[in-house]
Each structure stands twice: as C-alpha cells, then as structure tokens.
C-alpha cells in the first residue's frame, strides 16, 4: 500500500513542511558523502540510550549540550534510502494539513517536540542499548497522531502495487505506517548499527 494523497484541502503553503523535508534529504545526502565516517556520525549525533543515560545521570563533567544535542540531531539522520524516503513521503502527504491547522511556527515546535518526546521515550524503554536511534519517525508519529485527531474522517487515495487505486480511511493508512515502523524497528535490533 502506498498512499498518494489525502482528500483534505490545504489553504496555506506548508513552508515548514517543505523545509523539514528538504533539510532531512540534504542531511541524508551529506551522510552519504562522508563515506566510512558515517557510523561515527550516527554514534555522535544519533541517540545512543546507554550514552544518554550516563550523560543525564551523573557524569561529574555533565554538559547539557552533550546530552541534548543528539536528542535534536537524531531526528534529522536516516539509516537508508528507504528510511528517509518513507518518512518524508508520509510527512509530505499528512504534514501539510497539520501545518495548515496549527500555523507555521506552532507546527515546527510541535514537530520538534514530538521528535524529542520520541527520543526520551526510546531512552526510557531501551536504556541499556548501545545502538544509535536515528530518523524522523518519532516526529512524524506526532504529526500523524495530530492528523488522526484533526481529520478522523479523512480518506487517502492509496495505490496497491497491482495497479488498484482506491480511497481508504486515513486511520487505516496511519495504522499501517505505525505497524511498518514497529516491524522495521524490531527487525533492526542487532548487536551493532548496520545502515
């Protein structure tokens, strides 16, 4: 199932949504350009729960920046082409309506806070993990949750790879995205980072 568009009109240009998509893609292209240094980049700017727990709970030379920077930067890193394309596609389809409803500035704050909340939740649930968590999935989950609340009766034109097109309830497409994220995350739990 591939969502193509929703049936909800947008009354203002979603500049912030466009900016977030462009920024995520540009950062991913930068990641690819660093070659062998990419894993180091992921460990430095991704959320590594065991490192974050240590930084937040008592290293004598505690630096809030050292703990908080990855919590912000991790949501702009992605592990693969499929990861960044999937996240940005769902943001493209559903984010414009949420930005239209909230306004540009509130949407940006909401997006960032959703990503930060997801990072803290990941740290809380996986405090012993040494695997970097990267991606915009947490921020996008917040956007999709807002979309679900704001547009519960929305429908999404969906393409099924056998060339069938039809509208599905938005809640079904959003549930599909959450299930895909869960299964992708479960499949990547391994002893080390492997983009």
Q: What is the pTM of this model?
A: 0.82
C-alpha 81/C-alpha 2 separation (Å) is 16
Domain that holds residue 48: 2-187
In CATH, what number is assigned to the domain containing residue 53?
Answer: 1.20.1540
Domain presence at residue 135: yes
| Sole residue written with tokens 């869960």 | 182
Q: Is residue 73 part of a domain?
A: yes
**61 assigned to some structural domain:** yes
Domain assignment of residue 192, yes or no: no
In a domain, 64, yes or no: yes
pLDDT in 10s for each residue of the chain, 195 residues: 788 999 999 999 999 999 999 999 999 999 999 989 999 999 999 998 888 877 666 555 556 666 788 999 999 999 999 999 999 999 999 999 999 999 999 999 999 999 999 999 998 888 888 889 999 999 999 999 999 999 999 999 988 877 777 787 888 888 888 787 777 665 554 444 444
Total structural domains in the chain? Answer: 1
Residue 195 falls within a domain, yes or no?
A: no
Query: Among 94, 188, 92, which Cα is nearest to 142's?
Result: 94
Q: What's the pLDDT at 178? A: 78
């Amino acid at each position: 199932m591939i969502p193509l568009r929703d049936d909800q009109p947008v009354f203002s240009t979603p500049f912030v949504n466009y900016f977030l998509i462009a920024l995520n893609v540009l950062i991913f292209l930068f990641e690819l350009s660093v070659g062998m240094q990419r894993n180091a980049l992921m460990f430095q700017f991704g959320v590594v729960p065991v490192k974050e727990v240590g930084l937040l709970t008592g290293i004598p030379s505690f630096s809030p920046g050292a703990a908080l920077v990855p919590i912000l930067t991790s949501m702009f890193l992605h592990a693969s082409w499929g990861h960044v394309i999937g996240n940005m596609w769902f943001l493209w389809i559903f984010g414009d309506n949420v930005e239209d409803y909230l306004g540009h500035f509130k949407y940006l704050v909401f997006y960032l806070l959703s990503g930060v909340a997801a990072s803290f939740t990941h740290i809380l649930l996986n405090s012993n993990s040494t695997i970097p968590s990267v991606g915009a999935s947490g921020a996008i989950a917040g956007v999709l949750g807002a979309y679900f609340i704001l547009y519960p009766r929305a429908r999404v034109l969906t393409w099924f790879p056998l060339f069938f097109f039809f509208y599905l309830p938005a809640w079904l497409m959003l549930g599909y995205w959450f299930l895909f994220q869960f299964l992708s995350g479960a499949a990547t739990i391994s002893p080390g980072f492997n983009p």
